[in-house]
């Protein structure tokens, strides 16, 4: 039973599909990835091809039963999951092994709420249209989502004023400093205004889950700033764990796991992805721990040795996604590795990602 079919739940299901009866439960009937915010906002068609993918597009999921439902609870002793379907009816699903992979909520681009494909499409298009209006955009935040958004917005709309406000002397504190040194040059070339040491005051009751406009105040006392569109990417992540018993969670609400990705005290229960408290960066999705997890799920009942997930100390990977000149992937040591545009389009995406990682994806045109 895979509870939450996002980036890491999907990959775990794909890995297990040949060896086990797999059921996946997810609030949406498609992968709605949290990756590559900047590309999603500026080039939604292109983003959707790989990051908004109905489950029936994945060949490996032909063997997996997917259920669109919101998880509401789990009976760990009785080994059943409780969930609610879109028509309001309750479902209970028994399991032998359970994977908790419900991720986190973060801004308007990562929600856990039930949504139809049409609603997901409408939200993505509305955010793009909103940013396309007006002449100035302010991006607030110091993580990869904020840097990705600022770079892509400035590249897409060179005539707009794009400013990035971040709370420390540099953004990307969880990456190696070289990553920002490199990306800073690109942002300056793109004309992005960089504003270090700006911590925004969040309006009372505002969940940072919408694009706003007007004035933003700073807790450091700097003069307020304003823009036609304000994008809040301040890392207010909330784990999607309301459906789980409290004793599975750490003090911040993430699922406690051992290095083998097991939930201590509950045989057959595992967690992966942004919801799993594997390490301070909760990095098991990006570092492809689905391989370790699939091995352990199959090995545990047979008493075979389990494998451990070993997290790197720093974030790595792509920050601003695929650009007209290719894609840059930053190593944990901060050095960029650039794959030019042609091999990105002709080799990396079709062969390594769609064929290799996802084991075959049928043609996908989710935005019509
Ligand atoms: C192959 C790969 C490459 C990556 N590359 C990068 C990179 O280059 N740079 C980088 O910074 N990061 C990268 N990442 C990491 C990525 O940004 C996130 O860490 C990842 O999206 C988190 O995945 P997740 O499965 O934990 O959560 P999500 O993808 O958010 O999945 C959670 C799922 O659970 C569902 N859900 C939640 N609550 C409920 C409920 N109550 N009932 C039913 N369903 C529910 C949600 O709707 C969602 O579908 C990568 C990840 C992968 C897998």
How far, in Å, from the CA of 246 to the mean position of ligand 1?
A: 22
pTM: 0.95
Give me the mean pLDDT over the 51-75 stretch.
97
Give distance in angstroms: CA of 101 to centre of ligand 1. Answer: 8
Sheet bearing 98-100, strands edge to edge: 65-68, 23-26, 2-3, 98-100, 269-271
- Check residue 23 and give its pLDDT: 98
Tens digits of per-residue pLDDT, 340-358? 999 999 999 999 999 999 9
pLDDT in tens, 292-329: 999 999 999 999 999 999 999 999 999 999 999 999 99
**The pLDDT of residue 115:** 83
Which atom of ligand 1 is nearest to 10's Cα?
A: 25
Q: Where are the alpha helices (DSSP H) in 271-320?
A: 290-302
Nearest atom (ligand 1) to Cα of 72: 41
Rounded to the nearest angstrom, the distance between the alpha carbon of 17 and the centre of ligand 1 is 19
Residue 9: Cβ within 10 Å count: 26
Q: How many CB atoms lie within 10 A of CB 88?
A: 6
The token duo for 121 is 């499409």
In the prediction, which pLDDT does 338 show?
96
Ligand 1 atom 3: residue of nearest CA: 286
The b/e string for 31-63 (b: 16+ C-beta within 10 A; e otherwise) is bbbbbbbbbbbbbbeebbbbbbbbbebbbbbee
Q: Give ligand 1 pocket residues (Cβ under 6 A).
A: 4-9, 11, 25-28, 32-35, 70-71, 101-103, 110, 112, 144, 240, 243, 273-275, 285-286, 317-318
Band of residue 368 on the pLDDT scale cut at 50, 70, 90: low
Ligand 1, residues 103, 111, 316: which to mutate, most atoms within 8 A of Cβ? 103
Provide the pLDDT for residue 111.
Answer: 86
Q: Is the per-residue pLDDT at 110 higher than 70?
A: yes
Q: Find the radius of gyration of the CA atoms of the chain.
A: 21
Crossing angle of helices 290-302 and 7-16, in 10° steps, is 50
CA–centroid distance, 289 to ligand 1, in Å, is: 12
Q: Enumerate residues 6+ apart whose C-beta is below 8 A from 165.
A: 138, 139, 140, 141, 195, 198, 200, 216, 218, 225
């Amino acid at each position: 039973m895979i509870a939450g079919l996002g980036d890491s739940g999907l990959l775990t299901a794909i890995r297990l599909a040949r060896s086990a009866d797999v059921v996946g439960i997810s609030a949406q009937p498609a992968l709605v990835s949290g990756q590559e915010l900047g590309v999603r906002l500026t080039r939604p068609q292109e983003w959707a091809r790989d990051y908004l993918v109905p489950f029936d597009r994945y060949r490996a999921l032909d063997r997996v039963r997917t259920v669109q439902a919101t998880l509401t609870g789990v009976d760990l002793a009785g080994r059943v999951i409780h969930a609610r379907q879109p028509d309001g009816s309750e479902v209970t699903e028994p399991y032998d092994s359970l994977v908790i992979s419900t991720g986190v909520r973060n801004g308007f681009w990562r929600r856990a709420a039930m949504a139809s494909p049409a609603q997901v499409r409408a939200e993505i298009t509305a955010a793009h249209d909103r940013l396309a209006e007006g002449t100035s955009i302010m991006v607030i935040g110091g993580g990869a989502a904020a840097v990705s958004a600022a770079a892509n917005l400035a590249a897409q709309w060179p005539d707009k004023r794009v400013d990035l406000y971040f709370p420390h002397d540099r953004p990307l504190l969880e990456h190696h400093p070289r990553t920002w040194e490199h990306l800073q040059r690109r942002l300056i070339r793109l004309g992005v205004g960089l504003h270090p040491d700006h911590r925004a005051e969040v309006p009372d009751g505002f969940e940072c889950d919408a694009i706003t406009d007007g004035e933003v105040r700073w807790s450091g006392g700097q003069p307020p700033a304003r823009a036609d569109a304000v994008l809040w990417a301040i890392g207010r992540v909330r784990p999607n764990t309301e459906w789980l018993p409290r004793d599975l969670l750490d003090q911040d609400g993430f699922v406690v796991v051992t290095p083998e990705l097991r939930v201590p005290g509950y045989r057959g229960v595992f967690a992966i992805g942004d919801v799993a408290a594997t390490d301070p960066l909760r990095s098991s999705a990006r570092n492809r721990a689905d391989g370790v997890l699939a091995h352990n799920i199959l090995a545990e009942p047979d008493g075979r040795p389990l494998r451990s997930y070993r997290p790197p100390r720093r974030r790595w990977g792509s920050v601003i996604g695929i650009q007209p000149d290719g894609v840059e992937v930053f190593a944990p040591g901060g050095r960029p590795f650039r794959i030019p545009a042609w091999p990105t389009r002709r080799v990396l995406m079709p062969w390594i990602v769609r064929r290799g990682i996802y084991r075959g994806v049928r043609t996908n045109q989710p935005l019509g």
